[in-house]
Amino acid sequence: MADGPLAGIRILDLTHVWAGPLSVRTLSDLGAEVVKIERAEGRGLRVPIGDPIGGWVGGEPGPEPWNANAIFVKLHRNNRSVCIDLKHADGKALFLALVGVVDIVIENFSARAMPSLGLGADVLRQANPRVIYVTMPGFGASGPYSEWVAFGPSVEPMSGITNVMGYSTDEPRNTAMALMDPTSGMCATTAMLTALREREETGQGSVVELSLHESGVAFSGPWLIAHQLGEPIQPIGNRHPGMAPHGVFRCQGPDNWVAVACANDEEWRGLTTVVPGLDADMPLEDRRAQQDTIEAAIAAWTGSMTKGEAANRLQSAGVSAGPVYTTPDMTADEQIQARGFFVPLEHDTPVPGNPIKMEGISPDDWTPCRRLGADNAEVLRDWLDWPNDRIEALRQDGILPDKPPA
C-alpha cells in the first residue's frame, strides 16, 4: 500500500504460520510497506505437507501448490515476496543490506534460529542502529523451555485455558483455534507500534521479545486470582459465575443454537417478558441457585423457533443474545455483509478484512498475496538500487529462487 497512516514504514517479515503473519498483516493494512522474506523449502504454510487446513485457492493446488495455500494467501495480502537462501554467505549479505533500509525486522523462529544463521540481534543492529527487531520464540529467549518446539495447540494448554474449557474434568478441551496465535499476534502489533513511537524519542532502534506462551498466560487472570484465593479451578461449561442465565440453547433444526447472557437484572426482566414462567423479580443469587429450572424454561421456548428468530426476539427485549453460527452462517451474516468486512482479493474468494476502520484506510488499496519470489528483482532495484546484472547473478547461483526445489 502506498497510502495509510503507516505509509513509509518498511518491514521485513520472516514470520510463519499464524501469529507473526497476522501481526504484520494488520500493519500492512494500515499502510506499512512489507517485504516477506521467504525460503524455497521448509516448514511453514507456504509449502504445506499434504492438503492445507483451509484448502486451496480456487479449490485445487494446481501446478504451483506453494502459491495456492488458502490460509497463507489470506494472511499475506499487501506484501511483496523475496525468496533468499539465508544459509549462503551471499544470501546473508543481501539480507543485511535490506535490514539497512527498513524500520522493522520480525521473526517467530525458535530462540536459536537467527543466531545460528549469524543474524542475531547484535548483527542486525550493527547493520542498522535504528532497526526495531521483533523476535517471537514460542517460550521466549530464556528459561528452561526456551529450546522447546512451540505450536499454538500445544502451548495453549500450558496457559491454563484448556483446563477450564468444556464440562468434563476427564478430558480437557482446546479452543480449536490455537488461541495463543492471534493473541500473541496482536501483542506483536502493539509492540511494533510502541517501538516505533519510542524510536521517535530516542532515535535508536530496539529489540522486542515476546513469547507465544506468555501471551496466553497473560489472559489467565480470573483463574489465577481464584487460585490465589484458594478456590478450586475446574471446567464451568457455558455457565458464568457472575451472570445467570448464561448459556446456549437448542433451537429448531439440526444443531441450531442461540447464546444467551443475562448480564444484569434489567436484562433478566427483559428475558421474562418473552420466556414464559420466569419471575421478573428473582435476584441473581436465586437465579444462580435455580439455573437448571431456568435453563429448562428457556430451552422449551427456543426449541419452538429458529436461532435467528430467537436471537431477534431476545434482542428486542433488551437481552444480550446471538445465534451460534457455523462458518457459512458467519460469512453470510447480514451485519458482516452490510459493513463489507470480507474482501474478495483472490479468485473472488472472500477473505477477512481489518476490524480497524478509520479515515485513510481502504480495502480498495489492498493487494493480493504475491507468488513466491515474485518481487525478488523489483525489491532489490527499488530498495537497494542494485543493477539487473547483479540481481541476475544471484538468481543464477540459486540465492534468489522463485519456486521450491524439484
pLDDT tens track for 193-234: 999 999 999 999 999 999 999 998 888 777 778 788 888 887
Please say if the pLDDT value at position 335 is more than 80.
yes
Enumerate the domain spans of the chain: 10-218+343-396, 246-332
* Residue 169's pLDDT band (cuts 50, 70, 90): low
In this predicted model, what pLDDT tens digit does every residue of 136-165 receive, in sequence order? 999 999 999 999 988 888 888 888 888 888
pTM of the model: 0.91
How much is the average pLDDT of 390-404? 95
Instruction: Kindly report the average pLDDT of the chain as a whole number.
Output: 91
Question: What kind of fold does domain 10-218+343-396 have according to CATH?
Answer: Rossmann fold (3.40.50)
Could you tell me if 310 and 321 are in contact, meaning their C-beta atoms sit under 8 angstroms apart?
A: yes
* Residue 59's pLDDT band (cuts 50, 70, 90): confident
* Residue 97's pLDDT band (cuts 50, 70, 90): very high
* Residue 47's pLDDT band (cuts 50, 70, 90): low
* Nearest-angstrom CA–CA distance, 370 and 376: 11
Which stretch of 159-163, 254-258, 316-320, 344-348 has the lowest confidence by average pLDDT?
344-348
Q: What is the pLDDT of residue 229?
A: 83
Q: What is the pLDDT of residue 269?
A: 98
- CATH code, 246-332: 3.30.1540.10
Concatenated DSSP letters of 238-282:
T-BTTBSSEEEEE-SSTT-EEEEE--SHHHHHHHHTTSTT--TT-
DSSP 69: B
SS3 98: helix
* Residue 48's pLDDT band (cuts 50, 70, 90): low
78-96 burial, b at 16+ Cβ within 10 Å, e below that, comes to bbbbbbbbbeeeebbebbb
Please say if the pLDDT value at position 43 is more than 70.
no
Query: Who has greater pLDDT, 107 or 253?
Result: 107
* Nearest-angstrom CA–CA distance, 38 and 44: 10
Which stretch of 7-21, 82-96, 150-164, 283-297 has the lowest confidence by average pLDDT?
150-164
Please say if the pLDDT value at position 34 is more than 90.
yes
Amino acid occupying residue 270: G
Q: What is the pLDDT of residue 233?
A: 80
Closest to 396 (Cα-Cα) out of 88, 99, 101, 98: 88
SS3 319: coil
